[in-house]
Amino acid sequence: MSFDTVAEQKAFADAEGYPFKLLADTDKVAGAAYDAVRAEGEPYAEHGLPRRLTYVIGTDGNVAKAFDFNESREFDTHGQQVLDALAELAG
C-alpha cells in the first residue's frame, strides 16, 4: 500500500511486472489505521512518505506480526523476518 495515486501505483506495478494490483491510500485512512503516517518532525514526513511497515495477517484476519523496516534497514534481514513469521504461522 502506498499514499500514491491509483495511476502511479498501476504504472509502478506495470513497470515492475507485478502480476497483482497495488493498493493506493491517497487519503491516508488505512495508513493512519496501521500507524504508517509519519508524525510531524519525523524523517521524510515533510514529503508525505509513509513508514515502511510489513504486517503479517493470520488466517483469523488479525495482525499476527508487525515489522518496522526502519528497525533492520536491511532488505534481506527484513525479508527473512517476514518469511520466518509466515513459516511459524503455517506451523
Per-residue pLDDT tens digits for 48-91: 899 989 999 999 999 999 998 877 677 788 889 999 999 999 98
Q: Is the pLDDT of residue 3 over 80?
A: yes
Strands annotated E in the chain: 53-57, 63-68
Residues 29, 71 within the same domain: no
pTM of the complete model: 0.74
Residues 44, 6 within the same domain: yes
Phi/psi class of residue 41: alpha, beta or left (left: φ > 0; alpha: ψ in -120 to 50)? Answer: left
DSSP 27-52: T-HHHHHTT-SPPTTSTTGGGTPPP-
| Residue 11 pLDDT class (50, 70, 90 cuts) | very high
- Could you give the number of structural domains in the chain? 2
Domain of 30 in residue numbering reads as 1-51
Contacts of 9 (CB under 8 A, 6+ apart): 2, 21, 22, 23, 24
Residues 67, 29 within the same domain: no
Separation CA 50–CA 28 (nearest Å)? 9
